[in-house]
Amino acid sequence: MRRTAGHAAAGQLARRPARAPGRTRAAARPAAAAVLALFLSGLPVAAEPLAEPCAACHGARGVSAMPNVPSLAGQPADHLILQMILFREGIRSVPAMAGQLSGRSDAALARIAAFYAALPPAPPPDRGVRDPALAARGAALSARMNCGSCHLPDYSGRANAPRLAGQREDFLAHTLREYRDNLRIGADTQMNGLMYGVSDADIAALAHYLAHRD
Ligand code: HEC
Ligand code: HEC
């Protein structure tokens, strides 16, 4: 792949050691952490003018009501910054996102990322009915394929690994097929390797299960 400044920057981001989950302290005070999270999620998030053009597709509060457009609310800021750099540099090339971020500085991207990361995640307004059999099949696959090891057991995401819980089912299925078919290549090829040879039916089950996690 052509190496660009952005690609190098994205590589650096990807190689940056993931923040320690801080298990010991968080585990010692789960109640305090839960109360803090509840408090923070109730606070109004200041509007971000840089994100105004994004609302048409990603939703005013980062929850997408548009097929194949991902929700951004509650995504880890690291994931958002990295993906925005990949779009800006044309490394992740998607017609809908082309030009949306061109000319934006890294500092501007960091502000946009902080805005969406602070918004409370929520399922899309048009989420369909949960099919228990399909969800169970997805859960079994996810356990076998260790999806929770990077995306966290509750699929809330961490560092460069995005939040999957409550994401749009159509986007999840679409993007997992793209990883499998090497049409989406991120800052690393972990997801491509993992999805290699996975059937459309298994992808549908994974997407259904994850979309119905809250
Ligand atoms: C015309 C619709 C449209 C607009 C406007 C738009 N996006 Fe997107 N965005 C998309 C689509 C579609 C995708 C999914 C692309 C894919 O299939 O890989 C996407 C993906 C993303 C992602 C990747 C999320 C992930 O988890 O993979 C980020 C981050 C993002 N957009 C940020 C923005 C920002 C910031 C703006 C405004 C500056 C914006 N988008 C404006 C349609 C749009
Ligand atoms: C070894 C760590 C690891 C494992 C295991 C893993 N992922 Fe990922 N996943 C990542 C990283 C890192 C990314 C971001 C990659 C990129 O830049 O495109 C990602 C991206 C994704 C995305 C894109 C979401 C978005 O918003 O753009 C989906 C969907 C996904 N993973 C689903 C899964 C599923 C389903 C499994 C289990 C079958 C899984 N992942 C296992 C690390 C992992």
The residue nearest atom 41 of ligand 2, judged by CA position, is 147
> 199 CB less than 6 Å from ligand 2?
no
Query: Closest ligand to 157 CA?
Result: 2
For 8, the token pair is 């190098």
Q: Can you tell me the distance from the alpha carbon of 118 to that of 46, in angstroms, rounded to the nearest whole number? A: 10
Quick one: average pLDDT of 32-46?
A: 64
Residue 155 contacts residue 163 (beta carbons within 8 Å):
yes
Per-domain boundaries in the chain: 132-211
The residue nearest atom 24 of ligand 2, judged by CA position, is 162
- Domain 132-211: which CATH number of 3.40.1190.20, 1.10.760.10, 2.40.30.30, 3.40.50.300: 1.10.760.10
Quick one: average pLDDT of 40-51?
A: 79
Query: What's the pLDDT score for residue 8?
Result: 41
Query: Closest ligand to 191 CA?
Result: 2
Where does 36-139 show beta strands of DSSP type E?
Answer: none
Range among 12-16, 44-48, 113-117 rated most confident = 113-117
Query: What's the pLDDT score for residue 46?
Result: 85
**pLDDT over 90 for what percent of the chain?**
76
The residue nearest atom 39 of ligand 2, judged by CA position, is 147
Of residues 38 and 105, the one with the higher pLDDT is 105
Residue 71 contacts residue 112 (beta carbons within 8 Å):
no
Q: Please report where in the chains the tokens 């946009």 appear, as a residue.
A: 112
Site to probe by mutation for ligand 2, drawn from 191, 199, 209, 210 as the one with most ligand atoms within 8 Å of Cβ, is 191
Of residues 92 and 16, the one with the higher pLDDT is 92
Quick one: average pLDDT of 119-137?
A: 97
**Residue 66 — φ and ψ, nearest 5°?**
-110, 130
Quote helix, strand, coil % in the chain, to nearest 5.
55, 0, 45
- Atom in ligand 2 nearest the alpha carbon of residue 83: 17
Query: Closest ligand to 102 CA?
Result: 1
Q: What is the pLDDT of residues 51-104, one digit of tens each?
A: 999 999 999 999 999 999 999 999 999 999 999 999 999 999 999 999 999 999
- Atom in ligand 2 nearest the alpha carbon of residue 198: 38
Query: What's the pLDDT score for residue 168?
Result: 98
Residue 111 contacts residue 164 (beta carbons within 8 Å):
no
